[in-house]
Chains A and B, each alone.
Chain A
């Protein structure tokens, strides 16, 4: 198990180097941020001065070397707009996103997994199709549309819930629903297909031969096995969530890392964008590693191998 974790960590480092390189060069392809930052009537001297402060004057490979050298020391540059170290800006906002994610995943699992089980047990019936429809709806509705729709109904028309910004528990409801919506479908479909496979197993037959009740057979013997593929996809889902948070946080004016990413793009704040993407990659990689360790806990074949 220790060797496995070590190997995974090595893979993560290699992946991070690739992400960093791609992000650096892609950022340079989107144009010169100076044009956006200077007023229309700025002089050539002012422009040159700014270019120099931002370190954009040297050859691109030199810039890359400097970037790598600093990145190794944990310095991912300074946000142009906020005049604050990018890493600091990221970690200032990170907690705001992290308080949102667990609720979204929890809600998605609480809806998606039972829906998947019910769909599998009643395969081909009305219930199965209804669950499938709910799932497809979740995927088909884009977050920005669902978010705005929810704001329109629950904040504007009914006035029950706040339309945005961080605050008390009521502020969480709409963003969490919006984030969870497209994960419900994923959880439901994977649970359903995993359940269908598990339900045909010989050990399920043996559980019935023992005379166990259907409830125990389905929710204990089948579901525990079906959760293994569900867990595997946790990592992917969390990646989806962090990506999905860009739109949702923007719609709900939620000051998390999703909104920070959006702002970095809009203001062409490329040091910040680089930092945000690299740090998000680290976040997703560590969550994936955590999931794999959890996976080993659920499946004794991995734990004890």
Chain B
């Protein structure tokens, strides 16, 4: 427990500065990722999950996005203070990322081998034949059949699932300590999703890298993660071990999210059963309330929720939630 986390994010703020105003898409996010663990980052669309990931990579979209505050400690070193050139050395080698859509993640005009080789050459200078051998090994590691033939193929000749494996191979070819997976299975068929998740798990076990797994799917969280952080309107509202979050969610938002996951037990919808939903909309990130951000949709709301943002309450040794109604352990 006392071991230093491989990645620690403290009070991260990434805002979009637009002509119409400031969009506080990531507004005070803190979490830590331990060596070899999988941390799920869960939340609905637009809550700031992906932007958090891009802030960690320092690859924010052009056009006004800026990290204005906070620290990102990678092995204890704040990478937000690194120069762009130093950051390039860090990317791929120490922290890497798998993107959401395999259809667009690979460059259509270069062969798989070309794109893989570029990544491998970041790690080592070697004769061409040796790099090719490594590329074949990298494809074999992500369970691609006949990797020798695949090297000369182009992305459009592969299926989505296979492309995502290639993206995975590229992302981990620099042997990073941290891998961010931003909804890597969302764009895949359900059957392929499961294979990909198993593959990620296996690669993680082999390499010992830590994974920040971004998803909106609680089913995937249960399968993949050791701990989970629930994000809402730019902040993490609850964080804890997967079992505890599933069995005893504390924050009303987490409870509502888990309740809205379809279950295999009980009567199905249309036969008496109803799928729970969360009423209302998240607050505008341009005009956030002073109080709790979930207050507008919360069934337990009271005056103090509207007056001030609740502090982070420790419920268990590793379980925290930002809510006034939660009783500290």
Chain A window 213-228, contacts with chain B (Cβ cutoff 8 Å), 1 for yes, 0 for no: 1101000010011001
Q: How many residues does chain A have at the interface if contact means C-beta atoms less than 8 Å apart? A: 26
Are A211 and B93 closer than 8 Å at their CB atoms? yes
Which residues 176-223 of A sit at the B interface, judged by CB distance below 8 A? 199-203, 205-214, 216, 221
In chain B, what residue has the closest Cβ to A224?
B109
Cα–Cα, bound, A37→B102 (Å): 71
A225 lies within 8 A of B156 (CB): no
A-B contact count (CB 8 A): 83
On whether the beta carbons of B119 and A210 are closer than 8 Å, the reply is: yes
- Is there a chain B Cβ closer than 8 Å to A101's Cβ? no
| CB proximity of B125 to chain A, nearest CB, Å | 14
Complex CA gap A208/B109 in Å reads: 17
Output the least CB separation between B53 and chain A (Å). Answer: 10
A 85-140 contacts with B by CB, 8 A = 123
CA distance A203 to B170 in the complex (A): 12
Q: Contacts A224-B109, A299-B108; is A202 near B101 (CB within 8 Å)? A: yes
Q: Which residues of A contact B259 (CB under 8 A)?
A: none
Segment at the interface with A among B84-92, B190-198, B201-209, B273-281: B84-92
**Are A207 and B107 within 8 A (Cβ)?**
yes
Q: Are B122 and A206 touching (Cβ within 8 A)?
A: no
Q: Which of A202, A203, A209 contacts B96 (CB 8 A)?
A: A209
Known pairs A224-B109, A300-B154, A301-B156; A211 contacts B104 (CB<8 A): no
Interface of A is mostly: helix
Considering the chains assembled together, what is the distance between the CA atoms of A90 and B88 in angstroms? Answer: 58
Please tell me if A304 contacts chain B, counting CB pairs below 8 Å: yes
A279 at the interface (CB under 8 A from B): no
A161 interface hit (Cβ, 8 Å): no
The answer on a CB contact under 8 Å between A205 and B109 is: no
B99 contacts which chain A residues (CB < 8 A)? 202, 205-206, 209
Q: Please determine whether A208 and B119 come into contact, CB atoms closer than 8 angstroms.
A: no
In the complex the two chains form, is B59's CB within 8 Å of A209's CB?
yes
Please give 9 more A-B residue pairs, beta carbons under 8 A apart, in addition to A208-B59, A209-B91: A123-B62, A206-B107, A209-B99, A210-B91, A211-B89, A298-B109, A300-B109, A301-B108, A304-B156
Residues of B near any A CB (own CB < 8 A):
57, 59, 61-62, 84, 88-93, 96-97, 99-101, 104-111, 118-119, 122, 154, 156-157, 167, 170-171, 174
Pairs of residues from A and B, 3 with the lowest C-beta to C-beta distance, nearest first: A211-B92, A211-B91, A202-B104
Q: List 24 A-B contacts (CB under 8 A).
A: A202-B99, A202-B104, A203-B104, A203-B108, A205-B105, A206-B167, A208-B59, A209-B91, A209-B97, A209-B171, A210-B119, A211-B88, A211-B90, A212-B88, A212-B122, A213-B88, A214-B84, A221-B107, A224-B107, A224-B110, A225-B108, A300-B109, A304-B156, A304-B157
